[in-house]
Amino acid sequence: MDEVGLEPGLTLDPVGAEGWAEFRALAHRVLDEALDFTEKVRERPVWQPVPAESALRVAGELPQEGTPLEALCTEVTETILPYATGNVHPRFLGWVHGSGQPGNLLAEMLASAMNANCGGRDHGAIYVERQVLEWCRQLFGFPEGTSGLLVSGTSMGNLIGLAVARNEAVAGMRAAGVGAMRGRLTVYASSEVHDSVAKALELLGLGAEALRRVAVTDAFGMDVTALRERIREDRAAGLQPMCVVGCAGTVNTGAFDGLEELAAVCREEGLWFHVDGAFGGLCRMSEAKRGLVRGIELADSLAFDFHKWMHVQYDAGCVLVRRAGAQYAAFSMRPPYLAHASGGLGGGMEWPCDLGPELSRSFRALKVWFAFRENGVRKFGALIEQNCALAEYLGERVVRETRLELMTPVTLQIVCFRVKWEGASEAELDARNERLLIWLQESGVAAPSSTRIGGRFAIRVNVTNHRTRREDLDVVVGKVLELAGSF
């Protein structure tokens, strides 16, 4: 025994050829169970609540001794795997969740085997991330010299883009912080913008009140006339307009701001132009839908997700910044232990840790690289068009049903509707529709989500799922109409 009481040679690996053979057999069994989970998805409820006995099995005191791996895997497949969010299911129609793809199971397994820290240093995973970013630069029409970073999702992408915008607007921000500001910075976005923008401004020290929520048109895109007026008023009040955030697909209704118009306003006013393209930005992949994001190539920064309409397994997002120097200036920090070397592991080009807040980063890029290579842009574009066609079909069905009310135009892949009950007040309609939605989710039949349109409760169906078919939407409408009499 050594001085800390451990036997020399203690390891976390299987021991000997026999140990590795047993581990290999178990790994193959678990992979088969993961594949069965995906292949047989239609045989399960969309979602089901976690039963008390499963929650109790997961819970417990801090383990002091280990559990045999086979027993542990069995416990996971019995008590955790069946109670997923449900977004792999074709009738998961809530929020904006991608549905994943089998090929990514292999990519995740290989990335896990490499166990790469993608904050920096010269190794293969960094080259994969650079290639993915180059493909994204080409996809969105950004110029050479664009920088970027793979992140957890658009929320982090928005934070990074706005951090770069803030530092570009105020000299000395990194050293002095908000004390370097000569006047209050303001940021402009539509009233439909995702709350991650407000949260980013809070984290950046500007405060949620720095966000000017601009009125929208009847199509739920930003009113550019109202935007110009708000900027003029803020300048007159001594404030310092900094940035306009354009929405390429709002989370409520799938609406788009006029990105070309917003880019023109930013040029005229000397403002940073950031685009939140969480899911709608990927319309660039579709010939039929590309016009919706005309002007996205003019953005100073762009955030979007691969785990939505590219169906990459969670989590996988991206931020692009038009001028690499601006992103580098906002984040680069090289203490002695991260000093660049002329060769070896410390060599190579610019490291990802120079472009964002994280030093320790997972190898997200491999599953994205897999998705691009396995499927190609054209297939993803066709899947986007397929989802939009399904949403149009559902919207038409809703309009034909006298008991149902379509609450917004179907712009892309989101359909907002509600059930009507004769003589019911608005408050009663809200309450009944909410109860009906909860029943749909808890029954396991389907999992739409909800929102409010003009203050009214809406059942919100989002078709960001490559497994969804017309018959799935027919099941939803049929069940809603069947239940309407009970609520």
pLDDT tens digit sequence for 103-123: 999 999 999 999 999 998 889
**What pLDDT, in 10s, does the model give residues 238-272?**
999 999 999 999 999 999 999 999 999 999 999 99
Q: Are residues 46 and 122 in the same domain?
A: no
| pLDDT of res. 4 | 56
Q: Is the pLDDT of residue 5 over 80?
A: no
Q: Which of 38, 61, 85 is the last residue of a domain?
A: 85
Please tell me whether residues 28 and 121 are part of one structural domain: no
**Does residue 2 belong to any structural domain of this protein?**
no
pLDDT computed for residue 1 by the predictor: 44
List, in order, residues 6 or more apart from 185 with CB less than 8 Å away: 166, 169, 170, 206, 210, 239, 240, 241, 242
What domain range is 458 assigned to? 377-486
Residue 8 confidence class, pLDDT cut points 50, 70, 90 = confident
Residues 16, 21, 27, CA angle at the centre, nearest 5°?
A: 125
51 and 187 in a common domain: no
pLDDT of residue 183: 79
pLDDT for position 485? 81
Does one domain contain both 344 and 448?
A: no
pLDDT score for 3: 55
H/E run at residue 406: strand 404-406
Q: Are 468 and 390 in contact (CB under 8 A)?
A: yes
HEC sequence for 459-474: EEEECCCCCCCHHHHH
- Whether 46 and 121 map to the same domain: the answer is no
User: Rounded to an integer, what distance in angstroms lies between the CA atom of residue 192 and that of residue 28?
Assistant: 47
Residue that is last in its domain, among 304, 339, 362 = 362
Whether 288 contacts 260, CB under 8 Å:
no
Task: Give dist(CA 450, CA 443) in Å, integer.
Answer: 16
- Residues 336, 411: one domain? no
| Mean pLDDT score, 180-200 | 93
Give the other-Cβ count within 10 Å of 309's Cβ: 28
Question: Stretch 86-102: mean pLDDT, rounded?
Answer: 96
211, 254: one domain: yes
Q: How many domains does the chain have?
A: 3
**Band of pLDDT at residue 98, cut at 50, 70 and 90:** very high
Q: Are residues 350 and 404 in the same domain?
A: no
DSSP state at residue 147: E
Question: Averaged over 373-385, what is the pLDDT?
Answer: 98
Work out the mean pLDDT of the chain and round it to a whole number. Answer: 94
Q: What is the mean pLDDT of residues 383-408?
A: 97
| Residues 219 and 80 placed together within one structural domain of the fold | no
Average pLDDT over residues 183-197: 95
Pairing of strands 414-419, 272-276: unpaired
Domain end position, chosen among 362, 395, 419:
362
> Does residue 448 register a pLDDT over 70?
yes
Return d(Cα 345, Cα 121) in angstroms, integer: 5
- Are residue 75 and residue 142 in the same domain, yes or no? no
**CATH code, 481:** 3.90.1150.10
Question: Does some domain include residue 172?
Answer: yes
Q: Is residue 90 one of the residues assigned to a domain?
A: no
- The CATH number of residue 290's host domain is 3.40.640.10
- Predicted confidence at residue 367, as pLDDT, reads 98
Residue 7 lies in a domain: no
Q: Are residues 63 and 134 in the same domain?
A: no
Residues 355 and 263 in one domain: yes
Write the pLDDT tens digit of every residue in 332-362.
988 877 777 878 877 777 889 999 999 999 9
In the chain, % of residues over pLDDT 90: 87
